[in-house]
Structure 1
Amino acid sequence: MIDRKEDLKPEKSARQVPRWLQKVLLGVPAAVPRAEGAARKSDSVEVLCYFNRINVRVKRKVFKSEDAHTYLSLGSCPVSQIHEDHYSFLYYLKTDCGFKKESFPDYFSVSILLHYNPTGPVLREMPFDIPLQCKYHRLFYSYKVGFHPKPQEGTVYTKLLSNGNFSFSPPDAAGVRSITSRKIYNLGDPMHFEVNGHDKTGKKRIYINKCFVTASQDPYSHPRYTVIDNKGCMVDSKVSTQSKFLTGDSKTTQKFSVGAFLFKRGASTTSPQEFSMHCEMSAGPPIPTPSSKACNYDEATQTWKELYGKDSVCDCCESTCQSAEPAGGSEKVVSSHSWKLD
């Protein structure tokens, strides 16, 4: 028998597992099963299971009331989005919705209740609770001495200043000097932000797909408020005229402003509230498409208008803008410095 203890000797940094040990640990490769629930559909409820999040869709035709979404919840979490034909819940499993997580010898289970509890002096629809479950079959072997792989989450949030393809900075009110420390705004002040793409070829345009504000630097925290959504629609421009995409000298830089606001949850406190902006961005062709655009809402004409291109690419801002096929994985999520509202 060959003594291979040197192959298992601890060392600094990392090195590849020897091939003989890979065969011992992995054994005979097993067929990769789907997570149960990922393809489970019905006429009323659809459950999509991912490694780090769950997506539940409930058909609107189930309900008679137009405001049924106000009485519908996934555990303790409200409806995430309202679509033409369904209500959607999209939450990370880390979110405090009431997910019950259980580990079994052959699989890992995540379960939660879908609640519908209409209120009022009379009932025209019956309340219900539907148990939902995702099962994740284990894809690795376990040994007393061995390695336990940990799945990497799908979205990686990075610090403001990065050596990658994008940087995100809040410039001053004139849009010139970058603010690198915490800044305090007054309620109603316009807050300016800027995304730089660092494209040396000059053939790419920077697009901001989504931005939301949280009351901490943790992008998974709640409450949160979405200002840009639906692949480049400035949804907050329908609420505040100060929220809009801004033109610039180069399309490799995208500037925008947002009207300063407070979360209701902390409005009664005397101390300033602290916020952070988190944005998902990508680099694409200079000509915008429904999946890559910068659209502001024009209150005067009650239409959506693209910053540089044809306004027709903004038509989907009132519904759902479909995602394009990934082009080289240039999409990235970054977070801004925090700021405070006085």
Structure 2
Amino acid sequence: MSEVGNVSPLQTVMVQCGEHNLLVRAQLDLFGTGHLIKAADLTLGTAGCPSTRVYPENQTVLFDYGLHECGSRLQMTGDFLIYTTHLTHIPNYPGSVIVRTNGAVVPIECRYFRKGNVSSNPIKPTWIPFSSTRSGEGHLSFSLRLMNDDWLTERTSTVYYLGDLIHIEASVSMANHVSLKLYIDRCVATLSPDKDSTLRYSIIDYNGCLLDSKAEDSFSTFVLPRDGREPDKLQFDLDAFRFYGDERSLIFITCHLRVAAVDQGDSRNKACTFQKLEHMCGVRAGCDGGPDCDSCLSDLCIIAGLPPVQETQANTHQLVIEIVNKAVIHGVFCLELTVMVQCGEHNLLVRAQLDFFGTGHQIKAADLTLGTAGCQPTRVYPENQIVLFDYGLHECGSRLQMTGDFLIYTIHLTYIPNYPGSVIVRTNGAVVPIECRYLRMGNVSSNPIKPTWIPFSSTRSGEGHLSFSLRLMNGDWLTERTSTVYYLGDLIHIEASVSMANHVPLKLYIDRCVATLSPDKDSTLRYSIIDYNGCLLDSKAEDSFSTFVLPRDGREPDKLQFDLDAFRFYGDERSLIFITCHLRVAPADQGDSRNKACTFQKLEHIWRPLEGSDSDICACCHVGNCGSTREILIPFRGRRDLGTEAGRSLTL
């Protein structure tokens, strides 16, 4: 055997294939985002071998094991011996509520020339080479690949979103063989490399029945190229999915491939797709006639007298793909034109298309609710696939906010997919904020047409008004960010501000910010980002780059900015995160332990204020007690809330 070369699947993972051993070097900054993972969270192979050495000085770990160790797998082709294994990262956050890195599986492969013989010793064969006896026998080399949309080139990325079609091509290389035709007997999806694991989903089974094409929400199908099927290839589209109730995004697809004589099309040699409109299995590729696919309907595809197909390493292949959440970028009155809102004098009218995400997948009307009260649709229109919500402005748990010029009713449309008895899902949950604004016209009235008391705007004109806001900003901090979608490793730029009219000079502070998985800031599962009157607690986390930000030209008293390192809640697959912040103003010269913006400096192991050098005002952040908050009692209505709470939902 001779070494072919090194395989480098990632810039942060390097592999060296030796004669007897495999050497894997991995950087602790595995994803290249600056977040260091723990060496103990990296293992090699199905046996879960730990690293053999850790180098803290250059943040590198080393795995040095024999080619046959750690559960590696040997495959043989006509020219090569191929050892395959994988490096696995499973983040472990004991006692933590959030995570900042995803799990990952890095496939590793070492190829060695066979040189026409097979030997138990890589240097000296112990028996006579028998390549001459195999030359007339020929060789079959199977493969399974992810393809681009044109089906001409292999896809380099293994990341897909729900709603995507995964193009999969099986092929076989036939040398010195009579003409044969390729078939896919079965394909199974699992959450680990073990195809026999408990949680699994059958994509193809019964000798070529594409079972997933029968699912109501699936667009999976065998694909027949325009110029006809090549006998050495078989292609199919798989509608992306995730496992129900499991947050892991990596999916392992293992397929068993087989060849048969070109003219041997029968119930054992077929490729059948379920046609929903005709409610029958159709011949899409590889079948000579419809009756051969009828057996898919009864799940009986074995012909009596034929021996079962033996599964071997040579014709069983595995793909690793990653399905990530594609969060919805929403507007106030429109969600990619699938949600429309009409604000009436007394009522709110919401129309939602059942093709909620615009992907062609119809959701169930019963999975859509309005407001915290969970109001059901008032009407469903099956003919045009639309649901209608018609409720009063004060119903379904709506919330009323008042600003200087407007009365604002806020509510949200919630989609929670329910898949009773299903193993997989093809859509994510979503929350769509809805807002209706009404001009106050200088008075407040319980009737939008005729006021029932005297306008009092004149009594407030000298009092002034404070209007708070909380916004997502672009990296230049000059413009508001339109997208609410972030990836782990991103910095979220958040700007708090206050508009002060007819007021003495005041300075803005953020007392506290909390992250939750629902609009309720007091929900059980929550994470404190800022607390104790301006201590950025998240900046103290070992893997965090969160910090208060001081603009180059100094801080404006009516604004306060901070960077938040993106995270998700540990053990929860929901991607929507609600961040609620409590904003407050104080006299501009009143900087003390209750009026501050402090970041933890890890190198110095000390809390430091955003402005000035007096770190004493941040000392209370260490003990987690900075005294009670004495707020300035100025009557106002915050832009985001009826009181002093300013909140906004962010999608991670």
Q: When the two structures are superposed, what TM-score results if normalisation uses the length of structure 1? A: 0.48
Point out the structure with the larger strand share. Answer: 2
Greater RCO, 1 or 2 (C-alpha within 8 Å, sep 6+): 1
| Bigger Rg over Cα | 2
